Structure 1
Amino acid sequence: MKKWTKSSLIVAVSAMMVFALAACGGNNNEGNNGGTQGDSSEQKTVSIFQFKTEIVEPLNELAAEFEKEYPNINIEVQTVGGGADYGAALKTKFASNQAPDIFSNGGYAEMDMWFEHLEDLSDQPWVENLLPLAKEPMTKDGKVYGWPIGLEGFGFVYNKDLFEQAGITEEPKTISELVAAAEKLEAAGITPFANGYKEWWLLGLQGVNVAFGAQEDPTAFIQGLSDGTEKIPGNQKFEEWVDLIDLTLKYGNKNPLTTDYNTQLSLFTSGQAAMMQQGNWSQVQLDEISPGMNIGFLPMAANDNAEESDKLHVGVPSNWVINKNSPVKEEAKTFINWLVTSEIGQRYIVEEFQSIPSLSSIEVAEGAMGPLSSEVWEYAQAGKIFQLQNSKFPDGVGQEFASEIQAYIGGQTSREELLQQMQDSWDKLAK
């Protein structure tokens, strides 16, 4: 989903980078297979519109390396993420005849919404190496329409040293154990949770997955919400999710609704708080702010069934798709193929983007991904995951959910009112 990016500001980064043409004279067939360095002096520009703010800097660094091999393709990168509404910004791009050549898409319902603009990528050489979990969101009628930039997972990132300081010897796997851990942390003078609830995506896209992902059949439940056979009010998993929100508020930082992503990270890295709802994407900023932190993941346990609760929320946050009407779509394919097949491209995906590769062909050296991504991968391999569901939501529901949850956090509505408002928003936008 970042769908799954993380800043409270709109980050708009436009960088002109010089890359190579796929083949001499712009042969399209070369572009399909990764391309070769061309001799033509003709310059072509590929525009990328994406929302992962945390990879902007390594993307620019990667461009410098790509430039050495492909001097005749220009890449324009624009990033709109964090607190900004990427979906609305993308619609504006298309409406103003500034459609990008490569753009981000979450898959599932979002793929269907943009389907008329998507290039079929099934013939690309990397498709055969896609992991099943990564391939699913962008597959329709057996054809693949996007490159998953990686797998991401989230839960409660926690400071192991602070847990030890508070005398917590075992990781909490249930909500009762989480309460007990919070009480010990508070007794030791440590704020248990750093809640960045100013960020709409933290609540409306990710946090709600505690309820959606835990349904017996999430896809069927979501379909049931749309056809009227399922309801949010009275659903046990949504009740448990609100219990978890209440827990984080009781043992959390002051003013959570004015705490953005950067402030949340500051509370966590300074040792003022022991846990925060975040994902492995945070590793990049954590390493910059406080290198070498002794950290790990805890499940966002919403009940006392350890077998059910001991899971992380894992999926594809974003896929890069190619505009099928782009005049430089073959050059766009060249860029993606180089990124996923070259040694330096693969290294950047793992070490600089801190992403779990979506392709089995990308090998990961031990420790290369950092502790958070390594733990997400361990959970995924063990099958202990809740798959991300927000890409199946009706357009705009995530933002509506976030506003309603923030009103609840602010004490403006009751639990019952919150769940009914969420139902009403779904009914309105699913039409």
Structure 2
Amino acid sequence: MNVFTGKERKWGSLALVGFIFTTLLAGCGSKVEPTKEVAGTPTPAAPAAATATPEVKKDPVKIVFWHYLTDRKDILTEMSKEFTAQTGIQVDIQLFGGDGFKEKTIAAAQTNSLPDILTLAGGPGDLAKFIETKSVMELGKESTDIIGKFPENIVKTYSYKEGNTYKVKDFGTYALPMDTNNMQFMYNKDLFAKAGITAPPKTWAEFLDAVDKLNAKGIAPFATGLGSWVGTSMTEPFMYALLGEEKLKATKQGLEPMVGSAWEKVLGIYAELAKHKAFAPGISTMDLPKAETLFANGQVAMIFDGSWAIGAFNQTNAAFKNYDAFLPPKPDGAVGDIKIPGGVGVPLVVSQGTKHKEETLKFMKFLLAKEQQQKYSASSFNLPANKEAAAAGGKLPDALVNFAQGMTSVYDSPIAFLGDTETVMQKGIQLIVLGQSTPEKVVKQMEDATKKGKAAVK
């Protein structure tokens, strides 16, 4: 047993005090983590670097574009890549060539699975069905900044107002044109120069004079597909000019007689052309591809054709460049303006169910802007819908520019014949060209066919 004396207790006490003091000093220099959080005492915040949430990188927006334009696959891909480079918005282009595209879009609409944007395969009646199921977006209010850049009569094609024949109740514009088309006369500048013709004819008298001059030089003046639907299309400008729109509508619907109402003058243009030996051999049964081959190879000086023919000429004879287009010449005795067949080539529509509305509309407007329209037209030989693209010229062939300017002369909507009247007229034109019938006989046959068609409707 240890026994401490008083002196020993004194030094022991001093040693204990020193140990405690030293321990306290050491504690002041070190960090002691609490083992238990005391209620009511806030825990000090950790440094920002230790608690910040790592930034999550968002995937880029991707919109889906369906189209059926096999011949324009490359240019659309190129334009989409340019759009992505400018905006960061990706575009998944899906091409569905051949038949079945229309049915595919109908099925997609029924299952609410349309892509963000697509080319419409069909006319205003087809689009009306998509509107009825609320599958497509009204674009008029969404596109006020660009809608004025298209010819008004073209925008009307896919616009629905009160009293529309398709019974669309949600009024508005539901498609915008990516390209357009119309039909005019085209002429070979070299052959015109050879015949001493310095400018395209503007009147019917000048047209016949050009025919005579071409014949005098041994040049076949004219060819087109009179053996097909083209017969009606070529006749339409003269219907509007010689009858006027109201009388044309009344006679086609059987409300007024055709006989004695200037229809004889309309068909009389073919009798005059035959008299002046305007037609290439075989014209009465000729189809349009045959006529296009003759024109592209310099075998005829003029053709009545659509703006799409420029691409056909390039495929047939890429060296053939020196040609241009002009509106049908106004005939003597005209009471109305020349109106030509034409309309929207490829309509663009946007899905009502798109999850990327802003990005999709931006892409649509990109495709329809002047620069892209010029690039698209120069590559595909299709007519630009944007008036600014056509007016700028430059990269576009002269004929394409003149076709584009002619869009203001396209009639708003066709006035249909009743019954078999159109077939009777087309056959009659062929017989007039062959000298086997007369305008008067054909008009009487057309009137009889109209009466039968009207009776059948009742």
Normalised by the shorter chain, which TM-score bucket?
0.5 to 0.7
In the TM superposition, residue 339 of structure 1 has moved relative to its aligned partner by 1.5
Corresponding residue for 2:375? 348
**Aligned residue identity for 1:245:** Y
Residues of 2 paired with 1:265 and 1:173: CA distance?
23
Residues 127 and 378 of structure 1: CA distance in aligned 2, closer, same or farther (over 3 Å): closer
Aligned with 1:272: secondary structure? coil
Distance 2:223 2:355 in 1: 45
Contact 1:354 1:373 in 2 (8 A): yes
TM-score by length of 1: 0.67
Matched with 2:76 is 62
Match runs of 1:320-359 below 5 Å: 320-322=347-349, 336-341=364-369, 343=371, 345-359=372-386
Q: 1:371 to 1:268 in 2, by over 3 A?
A: same
Q: Which runs of 5+ in 2 are unaligned?
A: 1-57, 162-170
| Paired residue type of 1:136 | K
- Equivalent-residue separation in structure 2 for 1:58 and 1:255 (angstroms): 34
1:203 corresponds in structure 2 to 231
| Equivalent runs, 1:321-400 vs 2, <5 Å | 321-322=348-349, 336-341=364-369, 343=371, 345-359=372-386, 362=389, 365-377=392-404, 386-389=409-412, 391-394=413-416
Q: Which residue of 1 aligns with 2:271?
A: 246
Partner of 1:179: 208
Separation of aligned partners in 1, 2:450 and 2:355: 43
**CA deviation vs aligned residue, 1:8-49 (integer Å, no higher than 9, x gap):** xxxxxxxxxxxxxxxxxxxxxxxxxxxxx96368xx765435
Number of aligned positions between the proteins: 366
Query: Aligned residue for 1:120?
Result: 138
Counterparts in 2 of 1:103-182, with a 5 A limit?
103-105=120-122, 116=132, 119-125=137-143, 126-141=146-161, 143-182=172-211
State, as a whole percentage, how many aligned pairs show the same letter.
18
Determine if contact 2:138/2:173 at 8 Å carries over to the other structure.
yes
3-state SS, counterpart of residue 201 of structure 2: coil
Note the aligned Cα RMSD (angstroms). Answer: 4.4
Q: 1:196 deviation in Å?
A: 1.8
Unpaired segments ≥5 residues, structure 1: 1-36, 50-54, 81-88
C-alpha contact (below 8 Å) 1:314/1:376 kept by paired residues: no
Name which of structure 1's ranges 113-122 and 56-65 shifts more when overlaid on structure 2.
Answer: 113-122
Name the structure 2 match of 1:318: 345
- The partner residue of 1:293 within 308, 321, 324 is 321
SS of equivalent residue, structure 1 residue 273: coil
Query: Aligned letter for 2:60?
Result: D
In our comparison, the structure showing a higher alpha carbon Rg is 2
User: What SS does structure 2 have at the residue aligned with 1:214?
Assistant: helix
Q: Give 1:39's aligned residue.
A: 60
| CA displacement at 1:103 relative to structure 2 | 1.4
Using a 3 Å threshold, how does the CA distance of structure 1 residues 113 and 255 change in structure 2: closer, same or farther?
A: farther
The residue type paired with residue 325 of structure 2 is: F
Instruction: Give 3-state SS (helix, strand or coil) of 1:73's partner.
Output: strand
Assess, with a 3 A threshold, how the Cα gap between structure 1 residues 422 and 286 changes in structure 2: closer, same or farther. Answer: farther
The code of the aligned residue for 1:189 comes to: G
Once residues 252 and 294 of structure 1 are traced to their aligned partners in structure 2, the CA distance between those partners, rounded to angstroms, is 22
What's the offset of the Cα at 1:379?
5.6
| 1:113-140 Cα deviation digits (max 9, x unpaired) | 8863664222333335444343233322
Q: Does 1:266 align with 2:293?
A: yes
Structure 2 CA distance, aligned partners of 1:342 and 1:300? 28
- Check 1:255–1:334 CA distance in 2 against 1; reply closer, same or farther (3 A cut): farther
| d(CA) in 2 for partners of 1:133, 1:181 | 32
Deviation at 1:376, TM superposition (A): 3.6
CA deviations on 1:347-366 (whole Å, 9 max, x unpaired) are 33332244554335657543
Q: Which amino acid aligns with 2:255?
A: T
Alpha-carbon distance between aligned partners in 1 of 2:101 and 2:265, rounded to the nearest angstrom: 35
- Residues 129 and 360 in structure 1, CA contact (< 8 A), matched pair in contact too: yes
Aligned equivalents of 1:226, 1:39: Cα separation in 2: 56
Verify the 8 A CA contact 1:196 1:260 in the aligned structure 2: yes
User: SS where residue 320 of structure 1 aligns?
Assistant: strand
Please tell me the residue identity of whatever aligns with 2:157. P
User: Which residue of 255, 268, 282 maps to 1:229?
Assistant: 255
Secondary structure of the residue aligned to 1:301 is coil
Aligned position for 2:20: none
CA distance in 1, matches of 2:355, 2:228: 36
Range that drifts further, 328-337 or 68-77: 328-337
**3-state SS, counterpart of residue 241 of structure 2:** coil
